[in-house]
């Protein structure tokens, strides 16, 4: 690692995905009021972009079946972007009717994963998203993009970074303001991160690429450290370290927001997010879960003596 970052390079943009990616795989019923308390607590902590639910088919992801109720109970704060994941025009229409003004589209670098996840080929998914993006732009709705399986696919194995370029480009062509690169099953290590950043950074501005690490193999924090060193400034994370994908059984939680903040703070970066308030929000949610929160920093923070 080189020295501390220069002032102009210190700002890091964190997108909190806990209420969507964090919760979509839980198999106990979490009441909508508990999801809303979690969302409001995270915004109180200083989060300025947060993915609060998804308008997918409730049979495919039952935990997100209350997407309309989540929006109905939302107390919006100025300056905060509240995103919802949408898989198609039907999802977009539901999101709009609920009052959503920022959507995330999601496809993958692997055909096998896209088929399992949204029952479409990559081309079909991008055709669908072209229709969604057209509607969104006409409505003044912001559009974010995700590419899953950037490093590896649970069905097809390793993915070459070169195979990711085309789908990232097509999402930017649809007008996405940023594209999040998913290590869906959490297998990446810093050397692979470097390869991905070398290849994609040569084609796209780094400040429009987001790193989305899952922590299955415990490398997520190392991957964040490598990414910031390479000039990336945008990260997705999930409070408490919750997460997983129902269509990638080998995936566990996202990098925990607590772990991300602890690392970045110690490296001299600024997120504008207060870790105590994140810990409290995750703690409140944890009362509704059937297991402890995975985040190491969350546990250590509560028991800290210094």
Per CB under 6 A, residues contacting ligand HMG are 21, 24, 54-57, 60-61, 87-88, 90-91, 94, 106, 117-119, 146, 148, 182, 184, 212, 214, 245-247
Sites of contact with Mg ion (CB under 5 A): 21
Residue 56 binds which entry of Mg ion, ligand HMG, none, with Cβ cut-offs from 5 to 8 Å by kind? ligand HMG
Residue 71 binds which entry of Mg ion, ligand HMG, none, with Cβ cut-offs from 5 to 8 Å by kind? none
The single residue listed with the structure tokens 């229709």 is 131
Least separation in angstroms between residue 55's CB and ligand HMG is 5
The single residue listed with the structure tokens 């993009």 is 145
Whether residue 38 contacts residue 18, with contact meaning beta carbons closer than 8 Å, is answered with yes
**Of residues 184 and 237, the one with the C-beta less far from ligand HMG:** 184
Least separation in angstroms between residue 12's CB and ligand HMG is 19
Least Cα distance to 236 among 259, 217, 216 occurs for 259
Least separation in angstroms between residue 267's CB and Mg ion is 23
**Of residues 10 and 115, the one with the C-beta less far from Mg ion:** 115
Residue 213 binds which entry of Mg ion, ligand HMG, none, with Cβ cut-offs from 5 to 8 Å by kind? none
Residue 61 binds which entry of ligand HMG, Mg ion, none, with Cβ cut-offs from 5 to 8 Å by kind? ligand HMG
Q: Apex CA 150: angle with CA 144 and CA 155, to 5°?
A: 120
Strands 157-158, 152-153: parallel, antiparallel or unpaired by DSSP?
antiparallel
Q: How many helices (H) and strands (E) does the chain have?
A: 11, 10
Q: Which residues are catalytic?
A: 245
Least Cα distance to 26 among 252, 305, 256, 299 occurs for 252
As a whole number of angstroms, the distance between CA 107 and CA 87 comes to 9
Least separation in angstroms between residue 232's CB and ligand HMG is 16
């Amino acid at each position: 690692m080189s020295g501390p970052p220069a002032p102009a390079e210190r700002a890091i943009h964190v997108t909190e995905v806990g209420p969507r990616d964090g919760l979509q795989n839980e198999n106990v019923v979490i009441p909508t009021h508990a999801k809303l308390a979690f969302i409001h607590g995270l915004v109180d902590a200083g989060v300025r972009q947060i993915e609060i639910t998804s308008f997918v088919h409730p049979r495919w992801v039952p935990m997100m079946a209350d997407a309309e109720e989540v929006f109905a109970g939302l107390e919006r704060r100025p300056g905060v972007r509240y995103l919802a994941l949408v898989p198609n025009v039907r999802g977009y229409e539901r999101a709009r009717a609920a009052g959503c003004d920022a959507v995330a589209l999601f496809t993958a670098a692997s055909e096998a994963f896209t088929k399992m996840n949204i029952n479409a080929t990559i081309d079909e998914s991008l055709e669908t998203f072209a229709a969604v993006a057209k509607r969104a732009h006409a409505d003044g709705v912001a559009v974010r993009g995700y590419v899953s399986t950037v490093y590896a696919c649970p069905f097809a194995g390793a993915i070459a970074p070169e195979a990711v370029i085309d789908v990232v480009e097509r999402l930017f062509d649809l007008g996405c303001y940023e594209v999040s690169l998913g290590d869906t099953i959490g297998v990446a290590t810093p050397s692979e991160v470097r390869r991905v950043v070398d290849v994609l950074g040569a084609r796209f501005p780094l400040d429009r690429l987001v790193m989305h690490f899952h922590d299955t193999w415990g490398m997520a924090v190392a991957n964040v450290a490598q990414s910031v060193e390479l000039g990336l400034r945008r990260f997705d994370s999930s409070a408490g370290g919750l997460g997983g994908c129902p269509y990638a059984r080998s995936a566990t939680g996202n990098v925990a927001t607590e772990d991300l903040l602890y690392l970045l703070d110690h490296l001299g970066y600024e997120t504008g997010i207060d870790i105590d308030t994140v810990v409290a929000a995750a703690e409140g949610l944890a009362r509704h879960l059937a297991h402890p929160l995975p985040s190491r920093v969350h546990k250590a923070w509560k028991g800290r003596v210094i």
